[in-house]
Amino acid sequence: MTEIERSGFFHPAKPVYRFTILFFVALLTYGSYFAYDSLGAIAPLLIKALGIGREQIGATYSAYSVAAIFTVFIGGIIIDKIGTRRASLLFSSLVVLGATIVALANNMTMIYIGRIIFGMGSESLVVAQSSILARWFKGKELALAFGIALTLSRLGTIFSFNLEASIAKHFNSFRAALWAAVIFTILSFLSNVVYVVMDKHGEKYLSLKEEGVEEKIRLKDIKEFPRAYWYVVLLCVTFYSAIFPFTSLSTDFFHTKWGLPMTLTAAASGFFLQVKNFFIGIYRTAGGITSIIMIASAVLAPIFGGMVDRVGRRASIMILGSLMMIPTYLLMGFTNIYPAWPMIVLGLAFSLVPAAMWPTVPLIVKEERVGTAFGLMTMIQNIGLMLFPYLNGKLRDMTHTYKASMVMFAFLGVVGLIFAILLKREDKKMGGILEMPGIEAANS
């Protein structure tokens, strides 16, 4: 028998060990995803309890994105300097600290400070998570590992929108919901500790490579990017600026315009009734309808990713996804159609466009510049995410309706559509590489 066979079921070289690490690494960001949307999930309660406007709720998301912009420059450097294990613990600690400050805060200034600290840790933790997955799964099941990690992370958002209002109602305090977010960040920190222990143990037996951070910006590379890359970047910032800033106040939107409840009124006395109410709430509560986008992404993103690999048509898919957003926002802004239906369409768009957009970058940028390309794209994306949540809230407070906001988001869809069309036209000049299936595109 070999040493690995003699060592038993849970040897670091066995798949079961690797996938156990994947489970805990996927949970690293569960808490931060839950806490990120905790304020939006209980926005109507915060507005009433703190006497603030929607502008301030949007600004809490903007504060997070301010931190995210700077994280692009320093997060990867920290990981390279002190190693992934220590860096991940540092970032997890910042997430817990930021969420705790938000839960304790008695004024908006402290909430903004907490969100900035939280954003510094959360965005850096995503970068660290990518390095960890590459360390354990590169050359094996890396795409599967990334897909599982993203799905578990998205569950944090889904549960936040569906549970936070119920937690606040049960304890008769919005702070209870914020402390629930803190508890989930602590659980993610503990998952990080488990990963560190398992990684140290595995290092004794395996020749694990310390993967460097790929998404780092090298300024000298920027001037070499082709025009097609900039169309993708501009589409990225307009697309994401029409999604996440919208969800930051969509719970309030659905609650105020359609009168949808924050929670189901019927109390669930048993476990199975609670589970039933949770799923019913997805279509009947304000937070539940907001979560439809993330549910669609968690379920459909891996499917659409495989479809893009098989059929290509990346530029065409980005055109379709951008086009779908325009009538969706206008319908929600100017009609009384039940919002679950347009949100399903928006969820389809949110699954289609990223599945086609992110794999486009390595096809149009030279391999040695891909890290800079992704880092710059993420930074510019966060500039949009810094601006538009604030504008969404500001427009709502100024006009007392969400119609102007919906026009703004529809307009972003129009701008994204223009960039997608320009990208397809540019792709024709490059030989149509973006419309090719994955294997053909990689070999061209």
Per-residue pLDDT reduced to its tens digit, 83-131 = 888 999 999 999 999 999 999 999 999 999 999 999 999 988 988 888 8
Q: Is residue 2 part of a domain?
A: no
Same domain, 64 and 131: yes
pLDDT at 441: 58
Question: Tokens standing for 92?
Answer: 């997890």
Collapsing DSSP states into helix, strand and coil, what is residue 335?
coil
Nearest to 119 by CA among 136, 106, 141, 101: 101
Mean pLDDT of 350-365: 89
Chosen domain end from 207, 237, 265: 207
Same domain, 312 and 193: no
The CA–CA distances, whole Å, from 432 to 88, 235, 363, 410 equal 40, 18, 11, 29
Comparison of pLDDT for 150 and 345, the residue scoring more: 345
Same domain, 264 and 288: yes
| Among 5-9, 41-45, 122-126, 417-421, the least confident range | 5-9
Cβ count near 395 (within 10 Å): 22
Comparison of pLDDT for 18 and 54, the residue scoring more: 54
CA angle 383–27–206, rounded 5-degree value: 110
Nearest to 108 by CA among 39, 38, 37, 32: 39
Same domain, 194 and 306: no
Q: Where are the beta strands (DSSP E) in 21-146?
A: none
Q: Is residue 303 part of a domain?
A: yes
Q: Is residue 215 part of a domain?
A: no
Whether 359 has a pLDDT exceeding 80, the answer reads yes
Same domain, 252 and 281: yes
Helix, strand, coil share (%) of the chain residues, nearest 5:
85, 0, 15
Question: Tokens standing for 177?
Answer: 């919901």
Contact 342, 328 (CB under 8 A): yes
Chosen domain end from 207, 231, 247: 207
Tens digit of each residue's pLDDT (9 = 90 or more) over 244-256: 999 999 999 999 9
Q: Is residue 216 part of a domain?
A: no
Nearest to 26 by CA among 130, 181, 170, 160: 130
Tens digit of each residue's pLDDT (9 = 90 or more) over 331-341: 999 999 999 99
pLDDT at 209: 63
User: Mean pLDDT in the chain?
Assistant: 88
- Which CATH number fits the domain that encloses residue 77? 1.20.1250.20
Tens digit of each residue's pLDDT (9 = 90 or more) over 142-183: 667 877 888 888 899 999 999 999 899 889 999 999 999 999
**How many angstroms separate the CA atoms of 16 and 8, rounded?**
11
Same domain, 153 and 250: no
pLDDT at 273: 62
Tens digit of each residue's pLDDT (9 = 90 or more) over 34-86: 999 999 999 999 999 999 999 999 999 999 999 988 887 787 778 778 888 89
Q: Is residue 134 part of a domain?
A: yes
Entry field: residues in the chain? 444
The CA–CA distances, whole Å, from 248 to 37, 83, 231, 239, 307 equal 7, 34, 26, 15, 30
Nearest to 396 by CA among 282, 255, 235: 255
Three-state secondary structure string covering 283-310: HHCHHHHHCHHHHHHHHHHHHHHHHHHH
The structure's pTM equals 0.88
Task: Give residue 6's pLDDT band: very low, low, confident or very high (50, 70, 90).
Answer: very low
Same domain, 138 and 181: yes
**How many angstroms separate the CA atoms of 384 and 121, rounded?**
20
| Among 4-8, 248-252, 322-326, the least confident range | 4-8
Task: Give residue 266's pLDDT band: very low, low, confident or very high (50, 70, 90).
Answer: low
Same domain, 200 and 245: no
Q: Is residue 6 part of a domain?
A: no
Question: Residue 431 is part of which domain span?
Answer: 221-444
Q: Is residue 22 part of a domain?
A: yes
pLDDT at 217: 64
Domain count, the chain: 2
Place of tokens 């409840």: 261
Chosen domain end from 162, 180, 207: 207
Q: What stretch of H or E contains 11?
A: none
Q: Is residue 159 part of a domain?
A: yes
Cβ within 8 Å of residue 270, ≥6 positions away? none
pLDDT at 276: 65
Tens digit of each residue's pLDDT (9 = 90 or more) over 380-412: 999 999 999 999 999 999 999 999 999 999 999
**How many angstroms separate the CA atoms of 118 and 100, rounded?**
9
Nearest to 100 by CA among 117, 120, 125: 117
Same domain, 56 and 120: yes
Same domain, 174 and 234: no
Same domain, 232 and 377: yes
Same domain, 174 and 199: yes
Whether 212 has a pLDDT exceeding 60, the answer reads no
pLDDT at 322: 96
Look up residue 421 and give its amino acid: I
pLDDT at 297: 85
pLDDT at 1: 43
The CA–CA distances, whole Å, from 429 to 47, 91, 183, 441 equal 52, 43, 53, 15
